């Protein structure tokens, strides 16, 4: 059995859905198919909700366009004998959605709980549609088996319950194809609809693959595989044939958006191979992600870029790991997530999202009091940065690589706010923090040094 996940880029149009149908209908083994909402729909659901909450009557027109997109696909692709049932189911979802939008526009605000409900309609509609477009497919409701609970106010996966519910749902003889929606979930205690975070359909697929014991997890998207850099920025980025789980984990964690980071862990722990494939070019072999091949050959695997980061740097002499941990706990208590931490030429730093900059600066001002009392200086703050990360194995052994990377940035007059080299177990990478305005140039020039 294999699990195949098709993202919004694969289920956005009639043509791409026909490709999905060709891929799944020709499977020779049972397949569990996980689908995202139609491409761009989640963003559309969110922006329409904001319009409604802000009293912008345009939400009605936007809602109509989203509805029409679904009906056009149903009318073209669902076989005639099932069409009116599917149209009716989707119309019921759309009518519930419309009621919620009306409510939001009446009360003029958009609580998280309501937004979670709104975005869930994307996957609820697409999965019903895809199940009826494919041959001999059954539909499974992800809200029955993907469960979350609240931790410090955030929805996090209820891993144990989810695993047993998936096993129960997919036990025994599977039909040829089962289709389910990615991304969405239900709170174990309150029954509220929640989700696994933006891009979370990959994670749903990995959870199913792990719990149901799939032989392989296939992530079908709109590029030929996991590439050496974001192909939208680096035009000569190449497909990576093979990468290890830790390499993919580090690249995703550092901004390679092709796979949602939490996806890697369940498949890595279960040793399930993962393939990244192109729905629009099935002949391309794609990327295989698996256990590390024992090799002494050092090499760069790829580069990732994360925009909108800020740095908190402790330039003070003797700033210890303990102090950084204290600072990071303090940020966490104020709801500020640490992107990563490290040490740039002896200066410890914590990277956070730029969106948290104002709050972080307030926290730092309060913290300054205790720093002064201890005779220490206040941590410095640099915002508006991009973090570019070179990931590989044995990077230290590649003669002159680090110097070459630093020189290429200097040659392009790109200032480096911090640099952090880390070789920790199977994770080996170098992070460069550069002004956001230079981020594309920096990525292109660092990529050119490596490939």
> Which residues are near ligand ADP by CB under 6 A?
7-10, 36, 199, 221-223, 226-227, 229-232, 256-258, 302
Number of H helices, E strands in the chain: 13, 18
User: Which strand (E) or helix (H) includes residue 333?
Assistant: helix 321-333
**Binding of ligand ASP by 36 (CB under 6 A):** yes
* Residue 419 binding result from ligand ADP, ligand ASP, Mg ion, none, given CB thresholds of 5 to 8 Å by partner type: none
Residue 374 is encoded by which pair of tokens? 């201890």
Pick 145 or 260: Cβ nearer Mg ion: 260
**Binding of ligand ASP by 122 (CB under 6 A):** yes
Pick 222 or 441: Cβ nearer ligand ADP: 222
Q: For residue 439, report the phi and psi dihedrals to the nearest 5 degrees.
A: -65, -40
**Binding of ligand ASP by 182 (CB under 6 A):** yes
**Binding of ligand ASP by 180 (CB under 6 A):** no
DSSP assigned state of 239: B
**Binding of ligand ASP by 266 (CB under 6 A):** no
Residue 308 is encoded by which pair of tokens? 């909108």
Burial of 80 (0-12, 13-18, 19+ CB in 10 A): exposed
Query: Within the chain, what is the greatest distance between any pair of CA atoms?
Result: 78
**Binding of ligand ASP by 389 (CB under 6 A):** no
Q: Which stretch binds ligand ASP (CB under 6 A): 153-161, 195-203, 235-243, 415-423?
A: 195-203
CB of 277 to ligand ASP, least distance (A): 16
Residue 214 is encoded by which pair of tokens? 């799939």
Residue 443 is encoded by which pair of tokens? 């990525």
CB of 339 to ligand ADP, least distance (A): 17
Q: Which of 50, 82, 198, 372 binds ligand ASP (CB under 6 A)?
A: 198
Pick 231 or 380: Cβ nearer ligand ADP: 231
101-106 CB contacts, 8 Å cutoff, 24+ apart: 101/48, 101/49, 101/52, 101/59, 101/63, 102/52, 104/49, 104/52, 104/53, 105/52, 105/53, 105/55, 105/59
What is the spatial distance between Cα 369 and Cα 339, in angstroms, rounded to a whole number? 25
- What is the DSSP code string of 412-447? TT---SEEEEEEETTEEEEEEEEEGGGHHHHHHHHH
Q: Which stretch binds ligand ASP (CB under 6 A): 48-56, 193-201, 417-425, 431-439?
A: 193-201
Pick 218 or 230: Cβ nearer ligand ADP: 230
* Residue 287 binding result from Mg ion, ligand ADP, ligand ASP, none, given CB thresholds of 5 to 8 Å by partner type: none
Pick 42 or 389: Cβ nearer ligand ASP: 42
* Residue 256 binding result from Mg ion, ligand ASP, ligand ADP, none, given CB thresholds of 5 to 8 Å by partner type: ligand ADP
217 DSSP β-pair partners: 3, 274
**Binding of ligand ASP by 246 (CB under 6 A):** no
Pick 7 or 392: Cβ nearer Mg ion: 7
DSSP assigned state of 178: E
Residue 326 is encoded by which pair of tokens? 């204290």
Pick 197 or 273: Cβ nearer ligand ASP: 197
CB of 256 to Mg ion, least distance (A): 11
- Count of residues that bind Mg ion according to CB under 5 A: 2
Which residue has 């590439």 as its token pair?
227
| One character per residue 283-302, x = contact with Mg ion (rule: CB under 5 A) | --------------------
CB of 42 to Mg ion, least distance (A): 10
- For residue 252, give every residue at least 6 positions away whose Cβ sits within 8 Å of its Cβ, in sequence order, or none: 258, 259, 260, 261, 263, 264, 304
Q: Which of 10, 16, 19, 42 binds ligand ASP (CB under 6 A)?
A: 42
What is the spatial distance between Cα 146 and Cα 155, in angstroms, rounded to a whole number? 12
**Binding of Mg ion by 7 (CB under 5 A):** yes
* Per-residue three-class SS string for 105-117: HHHCCCCHHHHHH
What is the spatial distance between Cα 103 and Cα 114, in angstroms, rounded to a whole number? 10
Q: Are 359 and 335 in contact (CB under 8 A)?
A: yes
Q: Are 139 and 178 in contact (CB under 8 A)?
A: yes
* Residue 230 binding result from ligand ADP, Mg ion, ligand ASP, none, given CB thresholds of 5 to 8 Å by partner type: ligand ADP
| One character per residue 4-33, x = contact with ligand ASP (rule: CB under 6 A) | ---xx-------------------------
Pick 196 or 444: Cβ nearer Mg ion: 196
| One character per residue 190-209, x = contact with Mg ion (rule: CB under 5 A) | ---------x----------
Pick 180 or 344: Cβ nearer ligand ADP: 180
Residues in touch with Mg ion (CB under 5 A): 7, 199
Residues in touch with ligand ASP (CB under 6 A): 7-8, 36-37, 42, 122, 182-183, 198-201
């Amino acid at each position: 059995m294999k699990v195949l996940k098709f993202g919004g880029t694969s289920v956005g149009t009639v043509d791409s859905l026909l490709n999905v149908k060709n891929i799944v209908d020709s499977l020779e083994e049972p397949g569990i198919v996980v689908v995202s909402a139609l491409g761009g729909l989640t963003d559309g659901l969110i922006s329409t909700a904001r319009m409604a909450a802000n009293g912008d009557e345009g939400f009605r027109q936007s809602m109509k366009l989203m509805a029409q997109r679904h009906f056009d696909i149903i009318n073209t692709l669902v076989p005639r004998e099932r069409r009116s049932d599917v149209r009716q189911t989707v119309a019921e979802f759309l009518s519930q959605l419309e009621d919620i939008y009306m409510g939001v526009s009446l009360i003029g605000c958009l609580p998280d709980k309501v937004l979670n409900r709104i975005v869930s309609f994307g996957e609820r509609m697409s999965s019903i549609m895809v199940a009826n477009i494919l041959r001999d497919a059954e539909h499974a409701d992800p809200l029955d088996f993907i469960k979350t609970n609240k931790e410090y106010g955030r929805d996090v996966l209820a891993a144990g319950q989810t695993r047993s519910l998936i096993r129960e749902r997919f036990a025994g003889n599977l039909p040829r194809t089962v289709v389910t929606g990615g991304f969405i979930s239900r709170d174990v205690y309150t029954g509220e609809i929640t989700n696994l975070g933006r891009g979370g359909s990959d994670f749903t697929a990995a959870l199913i693959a792990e719990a149901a014991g799939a032989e392989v997890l296939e992530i079908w998207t709109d590029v030929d595989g996991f590439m050496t850099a974001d192909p939208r920025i680096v035009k000569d980025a190449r497909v990576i044939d093979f990468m290890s789980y830790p390499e993919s984990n580090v690249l995703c964690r550092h901004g390679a958006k092709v796979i949602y980071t939490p996806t890697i862990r369940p498949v890595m722990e279960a040793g399930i191979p993962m393939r990244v494939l192109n729905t629009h070019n099935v002949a391309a072999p794609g990327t295989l992600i698996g256990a590390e091949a024992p090799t002494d050959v050092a090499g760069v695997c790829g580069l990732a870029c994360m925009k909108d980061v800020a740095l908190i740097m402790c330039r003070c002499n003797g700033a210890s790991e303990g102090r950084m941990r204290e600072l990071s706990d303090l940020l966490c208590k104020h709801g500020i997530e640490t992107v990563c931490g490290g040490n740039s030429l002896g200066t410890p730093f914590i990277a956070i999202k730029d969106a948290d900059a104002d709050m972080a600066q307030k926290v730092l001002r309060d913290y300054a009091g205790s720093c002064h009392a201890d005779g220490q200086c206040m941590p410095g703050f640099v915002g508006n940065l991009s973090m570019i990360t070179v990931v590989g194995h044995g990077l230290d052994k590649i003669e002159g690589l680090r110097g070459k990377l630093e020189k290429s940035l200097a040659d392009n007059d790109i200032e480096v706010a911090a640099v952090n080299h880390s070789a920790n177990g199977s994770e080996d990478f170098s992070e460069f923090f550069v002004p956001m305005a230079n981020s594309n140039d920096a990525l292109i020039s660092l990529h050119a040094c490596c490939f």
